Amino acid sequence: MNKVAIYPGTFDPVTNGHLDIIKRSVELFDKVIIAIAKSSSKTPMFELKDRKKMMELATINIPKVECVCFDTLLADFAKENKAKLIIRGLRVVSDFEYELQMGYANASLNDELDTIYFMPTLKNAFISSSIIRSILQHNGKVSHLIPEVVYEYIQKIKG
């Protein structure tokens, strides 16, 4: 039996915290699909194709990972990919409340779907994509918060 899990997010951009969760996830599952959401409503800083490329670069040496873009309900995406588990990260208490609601909503749409939550390691607990975007907008240093290949890619596309 193949255990397929989905780690969804906008990954705008991918952070060291995301990679922390991905690396621990591949130890538990046969395949981890990194589902990069289009998320037009969030007005991402980076284009979908760039977010996918950054994730592919960041996970190139991590086995059992597949990077896919999606623009559907997560519950439907999970059915299409024969996945029964969603992976989510919890950094702070406010994350828990939101993620609990989303987990219940997804389960109500797909009764075979369950959510597993990972806490990032302590050194990555404060990192979020929104913090990275804010620092980037003010030309601050982010190289220690994101994978080196992602930092290099961002420098390249910023011009």
The pLDDT tens digits for 116-134 are 999 988 888 888 999 999 9
- pLDDT at residue 122, as a whole number: 87
Residues serving a catalytic function are 18, 42, 91, 129
Q: Locate 142 and state its tokens.
A: 């982010």
Q: CA of 49: how far to CAs of 11, 59, 96, 100, 113, in Å?
A: 11, 15, 29, 29, 28
Average pLDDT (135-149) is 94
Instruction: Give the model's pLDDT for residue 1.
Output: 62
pLDDT tens per residue across span 26-54: 999 999 999 999 987 778 999 999 999 99
pTM above 0.85, yes or no: yes
